[in-house]
Amino acid sequence: MSRVNENYLKLPGSYLFSTIGRKVREYSETHPEKKIIRLGIGDVTQPLAPAIIEALHSAVDEMAKPETFRGYAPDLGYEFLRNAIAKNDYQARGCQIAADEIFVSDGAKSDSANIQEVFSADSRIAVCDPVYPVYVDSNVMAGRAGDYDAAKQIWSNVIYMPCTAENGFAPEFPMETPDLIYLCFPNNPTGAAITKAQLQDWVDYANKCGAVIIYDAAYEAYISEENIPHSIYECEGARTCAIELRSFSKNAGFTGVRLGFTVIPKELKCGEVSLHSLWARRHGTKYNGAPYIVQRAGEAVYSEAGKAQLKAQVAYYMNNARYIYQGLKEVGYTVSGGVNAPYIWLKAPNGMTSWEFFDCLLERVNVVGTPGSGFGPHGETYFRLTAFGSYENTVEAVERIKSLQL
């Protein structure tokens, strides 16, 4: 008789952004006349840059001719893209990452969910709290998280590293020693960043205790300050303790196109086993490669025209971030983030819970954000707004929130 993976049954509710989507859909069905502004999920709104569109068109044309048609892509990624990534994202920043240490995929969400598969079932994971829910949920599905305490909203076998206003939303070393440490900087959801010296401390800590850091750098393109690292491989010793996840979604608007990559240095070992070889084995078995057309679009991100156009796109979103930050601060909200990340993290006013504030904004001013508690217990009473809307909608959303006079 077939039986399900019972770990799935332990997951509370639905995925955060599915719950939000459902609530907004329901509201909109009962209030079809209302114009809802969505600053919830971090989904981009600006069209793909011209250099990317041009690369897509020309790759599509190649697929139309027998002499240039491509079938299965190499499972680890085309050389042209892996070379462009190694050169531009790493070697140009002084990081010793080679093209064959890069594994091209359909995005950082899948990689961040799948990477845990190559580690033992009894590994202890440490996560920031609040945290991008995929890291925890994927470990729950794999049976690594223990049992859920609904009252405290925590898993018995997960080590939580609170990120609070008091510690500048930067995690501190946990009391218990983890095997895997998930870090995301610039951070989703708080929008906080850590300095190179702080990240170096984490690298030293991981090397000392034999842990692996899974470093999600999906938002690195939004860094505006000098001393903030764009990659964990800027730190000494990271090649022996860190895996890095990257996305084309936020820097190049590929949320609907799908492209990302994972970096695993050849020196990175678990005991005597190379994680690079394990991940290559997994990729080869479970993945047939990102589409050729999409990888050509990814290559265009690194062209001179692509770089200039995407710099302007990031600046556009960061202008929104500043607008939200300043607008809400002016009327007395406690706000952070938005300087090195496209997320603004604010305190729900008047002691409201995160979901109370969510309902208040949706129902009273038709603005959608993300309740902080959806990211973990230390997110309770916080709220996240994204800067990925259009400028016009962002301005209108801020004016509507200001009009609430809470």
Beta carbons of 301 and 314 less than 8 angstroms apart: no
Q: Which amino acid is at 366?
A: N
Identify any residues that bridge with 171 across adjacent strands, giving them in sequence order.
Answer: none
Tell me how far apart the alpha carbons of residues 137 and 227 are, in angstroms, rounded to a whole number.
32
**Residue with smaller CB distance to ligand MLT, 109 or 276:** 109
Nearest approach in angstroms of CB 184 to ligand MLT is: 10
**Residue with smaller CB distance to ligand MLT, 42 or 171:** 42
Residue nearest ligand MLT by beta-carbon distance = 42
Task: Name the region of 240 (left: φ>0; alpha: ψ -120 to 50; beta: rest).
Answer: alpha
CA 134 → CA 43, 80, 165, 386, distances in Å? 16, 30, 23, 18
Q: Interface with ligand MLT by CB under 6 A: which residues?
A: 41-43, 109, 132, 188
Nearest approach in angstroms of CB 274 to ligand MLT is: 29
Nearest approach in angstroms of CB 177 to ligand MLT is: 28
Nearest approach in angstroms of CB 249 to ligand MLT is: 6
**Residue with smaller CB distance to ligand MLT, 15 or 69:** 15
Tell me how far apart the alpha carbons of residues 13 and 104 are, in angstroms, rounded to a whole number.
32
Would strands 370-371 and 382-386 be described as parallel, antiparallel, or unpaired? Answer: antiparallel
Nearest approach in angstroms of CB 66 to ligand MLT is: 38
Nearest approach in angstroms of CB 2 to ligand MLT is: 30
Tell me how far apart the alpha carbons of residues 120 and 15 are, in angstroms, rounded to a whole number.
25
Output the CA angle 74-75-80, nearest 5 degrees.
Answer: 45
Positive or negative, the Cα torsion across 405, 43, 319, 183?
A: positive
Nearest approach in angstroms of CB 68 to ligand MLT is: 33
Beta carbons of 258 and 294 less than 8 angstroms apart: yes
